[in-house]
Structure 1
Amino acid sequence: MENKFCYKCGNIATTREHVPPICLFPEAKDVLGLNFRKDLITVPSCDEHNSNKSHDDEFLMVSIAGIVGNNLVGYLQTQTKVDRAIRRKSKDFLNKEIIKNYKHQTLKSKNGKKYPVLYGNPNYNRLLNCFEHISYGVYFHEFGERFEGVVKMLLGFINYDDNNTQTMTEMVKEKFIINEIAKELKGKNPTVFKYQFFEPDQFGLIGLVMTFYEGTEVFVAFQPINSKEPFDLSMSLLNAGIPTFIEVGNKIFEFNKK
């Protein structure tokens, strides 16, 4: 084994883990024989952070493959592997583990086609946990060392009930586009998964955008253990509940609306 220590916790590695989980990448039999598993990323892992989280891997696949806005690959994964996984579960699996209090709705595409969808409350904390593991793995793959510090993230595919969080997600996305210095966009199977790191900012924070099925975006900020705590007057006002306007590019984002 090339590396002796787990990418996540630093314990002795006993195996290698796929990052993201291999189940997110369609099997050839489900996509007309096409190969969406070219040169998958693997990182050294202990048992706790690989084999013991297989249920989380399946949870993530079921949760994100069919998100509205994803590409055809995500749709095919939903109609095949995800469908098989759901059929193996109990009838309350979706409501209990994936999306609570869901309702059936119908969306109409630009060309008039109608699609059935589920609308409800996702298992947010479990999603964060899954994406945190992936971000740690991608960091290890990119830099060859385990990340030590604090990871913060926003899920760009969720519509938040809290106005500030929703506005923050939109602002972060715009900030990545406008202000950050991007590195190379990577991913050997970009229609399933691609990622892009950004140069450290003035506080040493390292940005990462991960995209699944070309429509599900996750924004990540790595704050290394030795970096200084970021301070921004606008953010201090925002956190104090004071109405705040922040300009990014040519857009204005309003927080704490009265």
Structure 2
Amino acid sequence: MLHALSGSYTSSNIGLTQFLTKVRRAFDRAPTKASTFIKRSEPVLLKRTETDEWEEGAQIIVEGERLDIVLDNCARALYFHETGKKFSGAAHVITAFTMYLHEEFQANINASVATATAYFEKHARKGKNPDVFWYKFEEGEKSAIFLMCFYSSSEVLVRLTKN
């Protein structure tokens, strides 16, 4: 997850520093890690939101299912942290820091995260290092929802549905 989040186009300078140092060292020590993590890549131009400048980058295709499993597990761990109870229902993960190749699907992802962000606006951020990770949580009768944010702007929405 560190590899995908820190290298994401939505990542802050903290995340990019992690990618260029820690992740690069991991790939140098074990080159097969890079080849199993990255299915393929292509050069692209990226626009930095912080500086409004264009720079060269790479579109990296990763194992989305694997990433969703890790994020699902993060939400379950946070649920336990919040409630003291283990969650055993289904989870639905929406990653706003990844790009989808289908325009309508991407628009639906963006709209879902924007709706959740607006809903959670008045909720306090939780987490000890908000520059790296914070989350917001609400539990209802039939579900629990998490809005998680990594490296300042890589957002994830996870809905846990109770059995």
Unaligned runs of 5+ in 1: 1-59, 226-258
Query: Structure 1 residue 105 and structure 2 residue 5: aligned?
Result: no
2:25 aligns with 84
In the alignment, which residue of structure 1 is the partner of 2:98? 158
**Shift in CA distance, 115/165, structure 1 to aligned 2, threshold 3 Å:** same
The whole-number CA distance in structure 2 between the counterparts of 1:106 and 1:169 is 22
Alignment partner for residue 155 of structure 2, among 217, 220, 233? 217
Q: Would you say the 8 A contact 1:65–1:77 is kept in 2?
A: yes
Q: Distance in 2 between matches of 1:62 and 1:155?
A: 15
Deviation at 1:104, TM superposition (A): 2.5
Q: Please tell me whether residue 198 in structure 1 is matched to residue 144 in structure 2.
A: no
| C-alpha distance in 2 between matches for 1:165 and 1:112 | 26
Partners of 1:98 and 1:83 lie apart in 2 by: 13
Contact 1:106 1:114 in 2 (8 A): yes
1:137 Cα offset (Å) = 0.6
**1:207 paired to 2:137:** no
Corresponding residue number in structure 1 for 2:69: 129
After TM superposition, the score normalised by the length of structure 2 is: 0.86
Percent identity over the alignment is 25
Q: Give SS of 2:79's match.
A: helix
Change (3 A) 1:102 1:224: same
1:215 aligned partner, one-letter code: S
Residues 109-118 or 149-158, more deviating: 109-118
Q: What is the letter of the counterpart of residue 196 of structure 1? A: K
Deviation of the 1:103 alpha carbon: 1.3
Higher relative contact order (CA 8 A, sep 6+): 2
How far apart in 2 are the matches of 1:109 and 1:178?
23
Unaligned runs of 5+ in 2: none
- 1:239 corresponds to which residue? none
- Report the Cα offset of residue 158 of structure 1: 1.4
- AA aligned opposite 2:37: I
- The aligned amino acid for 2:161 is Q
C-alpha distance in structure 1 between counterparts of 2:93 and 2:122, whole Å: 17
Q: Is the 8 A contact 2:117 2:147 kept in 1?
A: no
Among candidates 117, 125, 137, match of residue 185 of structure 1: 125
Compare CA radii of gyration and give the structure with the larger one: 1
Q: In structure 2, how many angstroms separate the alpha carbons of the residues matched to 1:211 and 1:109?
A: 18
The equivalent of 2:15 in structure 1 is: 74
1:210 is aligned with what amino acid? M
TM-score by length of structure 1 reads 0.56
| Counterpart Cα distance in 1 of 2:30 and 2:150 | 24
Number of corresponding residues: 162
- Over 3 Å counting, the alpha-carbon distance change for 1:189 and 1:109 in structure 2 is closer
Is the contact between residue 211 and residue 218 of structure 1 (CA under 8 Å) also seen in structure 2? yes
Alignment check: 8 A CA contact 1:183 1:196 kept = yes
1:1-258 correspondence to structure 2 within 5 Å: 60-90=1-31, 93-94=33-34, 96-107=35-46, 109=48, 115-179=55-119, 183-200=123-140, 204-225=142-163
